[in-house]
Structure 1
Amino acid sequence: MLYLVGLGLGEVTDVTVRGLEVIKKASRVYLEAYTSILAGVNVQELEKFYERPVIPADRELVEEHADEILNGADTADVAFLVVGDPLGATTHSDLIIRANERGIPYRLIHNASIMNAIGASGLQLYNFGETVSIPYWTDSWRPDSFIDKIEENLLRGLHTLCLLDIKVKELSIDALMKGKREYEPARYMTVDIAADQLLAAIEKRKDNLKCLNADRLCVGVARVGSTNQMIAVDTLRSINGWSLGEPLHSLVIIGRTHPLEDKMLKIVANATKK
């Protein structure tokens, strides 16, 4: 059996009782280590808590060598651990499809993810529209199609959750050109970087935008679910200057608010400008 186990968002103890039982009895335990991170927790701490070895699974292993994970899962239990919820990324659906093609049964053990924990922002979940992803820009690659989805949500009065880019074990282009296989240092997009890119995209597209502008109210969140989570509420223009510390960060573009949401936003905001 292949088990996909959600770990939650904040602490090592956020795993469910059912998930922990599966981890302790599995023949092998893998930790997906590239779509998200568990705030402030390393593999060694997980191994100590689980009382068993944990195998880090990077993008290359999961996407190119998934058979290594699935081998033996038809006769023994294999646990694949995912920060947040197991189906929080399309990669994990692909692993299920591969298991199904090999006749390997699977089970999901769900947990909190940013998709529902973003309620910590004070905004009501059913007032959110389509979620968007904001990628790191480069000198030659500056996509801004996410602007269209944010604008569509705003026209409907809905909030937009922006998931910010993560770069883990990315191959260095310069090294590849020299025939070497080296990796770039890990990078995690912060709300100020996301806001900077959004402001640039808005300036470029401003003639076609009715709702999205630099004065749109936003919520920046960091390390949601952990004991040191931070929440900042400000305009997009101003949040560009916020520093919320260590990853992971997310950004919400606020649509039309209910009076209860307005009160909650004042209560939950706890960040200070740095």
Structure 2
Amino acid sequence: ITLRGLEAIRNADIIYLEHYTAVQHTKKEELETFFNKPIVLANREMVEVGGGNIVDEAKEQDVAFLVVGDPFGATTHTDLFLRARKKGVHIEVIHNASILSAVGVVGLELYKYGRTTTIVFPEDGWVPASSYDVIKKNQENYMHTLCLLDIKLAEPTKEDILRGVDKPQPPRFMTIKEGLAALKEMEKQQKGAVVTDDTLVIGVARIGGVNDVPMVKAGTVKELMGTDFGEPMHSLIIPAKKLHHVEEEMVRQWT
């Protein structure tokens, strides 16, 4: 967190920590000790359904809404911002680093990344091919692709939703192995030779974490399918087909 962010938190009357679009590896209790203030964990329902309450509180009190990464990294954050603006609430945005900038450690030129995509968990055996299409288009434009991997935090199953049962499931974090398996399934369906066993990919885990040891590993799809990247969160990078010689040298550091 930046010094400006730290000052804002220490001046806040109420502190929310958004707790479902990403994972904060530092425990809530540790943060409360560090800030010397109580923190309210904000789940999806509290923000997307009850976000109006947060906005109403901000009319009368100083409210800090903390997110992991960039403040506008998820649509739900933008929605909360717009609701606050419409109600005339004064907003101060304090920016921070995110996975979009942290991947710079890999050594691929950041301005050569194309559209970012998210590989989602298959449902009922169906794997959406949208990520495959993004990777293909980026490859055609000689650009790298950052693939975020799906997370499920305290969400009910589709079956429970249809039955009207609100039964949160244990958290799930897609691993690099699962993400590659999903891409291979897309390749089987699309047959575009975009992601094969010999395709160069880079796996990153826990990048930007404070207490967690990050991991970066480059290799073929086949090689990374057999690599254990440990605890979440994981992301995948599909480099462009043609790399600058400095990029090539950097990637070799991770093989």
TM-score of the pair, normalised by structure 1? 0.88
Partner of 1:36: 22
User: What's the secondary structure of 2:57's corresponding residue?
Assistant: coil
Q: How far apart are the structure 2 equivalents of 1:105 and 1:99?
A: 8
89, 97, 113: which one aligns with 2:74: 89
Partner of 2:177: 192
Letter in 1 for 2:199: R
Aligned-residue Cα RMSD (Å) equals: 1.6
194, 202, 208: which one aligns with 1:225: 208
Partner of 2:197: 214
Q: How far apart are the structure 2 equivalents of 1:140 and 1:249?
A: 22
- 1:108-257 alignment to 2 at 5 Å? 108-176=93-161, 180-206=165-191, 209=192, 211-226=194-209, 227-255=212-240, 256-257=242-243
Contact conserved, 1:202 with 1:214, CA < 8 A, in 2? no
Alignment pair present for 1:261 and 2:244: no
Q: How far apart are the structure 2 equivalents of 1:142 and 1:233?
A: 25
| 1:182 Cα deviation after fit | 1.1
Structure 1 gaps of 5+ residues are 1-14
Structure 2 gaps of 5+ residues are none
| 1:203 Cα deviation after fit | 1.5
Letter in 2 for 1:35: T
Partner of 1:53: 38
Call closer, same or farther: CA 1:135–1:147 in 2, change over 3 Å: same
Q: How far apart are the structure 1 equivalents of 2:246 and 2:50?
A: 48
| 1:175 Cα deviation after fit | 4.4
User: What's the secondary structure of 1:234's corresponding residue?
Assistant: strand
| 1:212 Cα deviation after fit | 3.9
Deviations 1:178-223 (A, max 9, x none): 65421111001111100001011111111xx254433210100000
Contact conserved, 1:216 with 1:254, CA < 8 A, in 2? no
Contact conserved, 1:155 with 1:211, CA < 8 A, in 2? no
Letter in 2 for 1:38: Q
Contact conserved, 2:197 with 2:221, CA < 8 A, in 1? yes
Alignment pair present for 1:22 and 2:8: yes
Q: How far apart are the structure 1 equivalents of 2:92 and 2:163?
A: 44
Q: Which moved more, 1:65-74 or 1:49-58?
A: 65-74
Letter in 1 for 2:196: N
TM-score of the pair, normalised by structure 2? 0.94
Instruction: Give identity over the alignment, percent.
Output: 41
Contact conserved, 1:199 with 1:237, CA < 8 A, in 2? no
Contact conserved, 2:13 with 2:62, CA < 8 A, in 1? yes
Deviations 1:225-244 (A, max 9, x none): 13500011011232122210
User: What's the secondary structure of 1:73's corresponding residue?
Assistant: helix
